[in-house]
Amino acid sequence: MNWKEKYADKIVSAEYAVSLVQDGDKIIFGDWLGEPPALVETLYDHGMEKHDVTIIHGMSPGSNRCVDPAYAGHFRHVSTFLGPNSRPGYREGTVEYIGGTNFHKWPEMFAVSDILNPHWAFVQVTEPDENGMCSFGVDCSFTEPAVRTAAKGKVVAQINPNFPRIGGKMLHIDDIDYIVCQESPLYTIGRAGVNEKTQKIADYCASLIEDDSTIQLGIGALPDAIARNLMDKKNLGVHSETLTESMMELVEAGVITNSMKTINKGICIGSQLAGSEAFYRYCENNPMFEVHPVDYVNDPYIIGQNYKQVSINACLEIDLKGQANSESIGGIQYSGIGGQLDHVRGAQLSKGGKSILALNSTAKGDTISKIVPFHAHGNIVTVPRYDINYVVTEYGIANLKYKTERQRAEALIAIAHPDFRDELRFEGRKLGVL
């Protein structure tokens, strides 16, 4: 059989695909914006017919109906990254969180973990090309590894004609067991406005980025503001977990050329896209953009091969010893590590590389300092002090690399909100770091 005959032979309805899931099975959904809506919603529609089915996914953009207590005993819900849809369920005990594994190690986790393997992979891909190859579209990150490590005969793909074909890692029809052909609208991410504090932080961050650097940025108001401040830079490259709309704008402005990259010259490398449908269409069949799995994109030893790799990430708070918490509030998990530590470490393996952690100096209307003497009981250290390089607030830049405890504390207090500096000094003396 040629691939077209195989393709036709594998087509089933979403209802039939879901009916194959047996009690006690495990399913990994394609990650984030690449989650397959037709398969996910059909599974939820038939959820009361299932028992003890484990669902694993990241920051799901869909309805997440399975976290409803009504599905107790039917679905076990496991999240690799807590987002707005799964956070309430985590607090109520209907969602379990998988922590303690860096993002680039997730494919290995999928392959060997008793919790996750063997499993089904429910993914979303493009229509096949003339060679029977489908693109992972807006998300390859752990979607491709989910397929790669799935049990024999348990790969189900929603083929969505709306899905954009992005270069990089591909999936052949031979590696799909069941095909559900269904059109679905694309999940998109809007762009946040930039306030005065965010703009000041962006100004400081942008000042650290030199010509010829390769950058990693996330999504949100701060990365957008930083990108707008890079319009006067030359020959930037991109090696980033997420490819964003602001990167498209820098490509169009001639700022991002990828010409000085050590590896993947000429190409913006990422594991996923996040933005508008217009951004997805810009990247579609555009040889300048590729998506690959996280065990490539987020591997610190791959990242570190880039010349002047700069990683910029947000954190929630940092203590006077230089330990950053990026994922918990009041001792309770709030989000996840994602690829933050991967890129922090990768940037510092790079020749001329820099790692930047950025945060507002305060929260809740300037009533809480985000530079703290020590972390609250139960809060997580996402980036250990041994890996911290630059820390930026709206009050300036602190370079903590190769500094003593006293020098670190003094540098951090200097970029704290003025209303909290005396208190931080007092607490720093009590801790013996000042």
User: Which residues are known catalytic residues?
Assistant: 241
CB 390 within 8 A of CB 397: yes
Nearest 5 degrees, angle CA 22-CA 117-CA 160?
70
Region class of 432: left (phi > 0), else alpha (psi between -120 and 50), else beta: left
What would you measure as the largest C-alpha separation in the chain, in angstroms?
Answer: 76
| Cα distance between residue 163 and residue 350, in whole Å | 34
User: Which tokens belong to 18?
Assistant: 């879901």
Give every CB contact of residue 196 below 8 A, 6+ residues apart in sequence.
none
CA distances from 181 to 8, 74, 187, 425 (A): 10, 27, 17, 62
CB 97 within 8 A of CB 67: no
Q: How far apart are the first and last CA of the chain?
A: 74
Q: Where are the beta strands (DSSP E) in 114-194?
A: 120-125, 133-135, 155-159, 167-168, 170-172, 178-181
| Cα distance between residue 26 and residue 39, in whole Å | 14
Beta pairing class for 133-135 and 53-57: unpaired
Give the helix/strand (H/E) hosting 355: strand 354-358
What burial class does residue 377 get, using C-beta atoms within 10 Å of its C-beta: 0-12 exposed, 13-18 middle, 19+ buried?
A: exposed
DSSP 100: S
Q: In this structure, which amino acid lies at residue 276?
A: S
Give the SS3 label for residue 326. coil
**Of the candidates 146, 98, 151, which has an alpha carbon nearest to the alpha carbon of residue 124?**
146
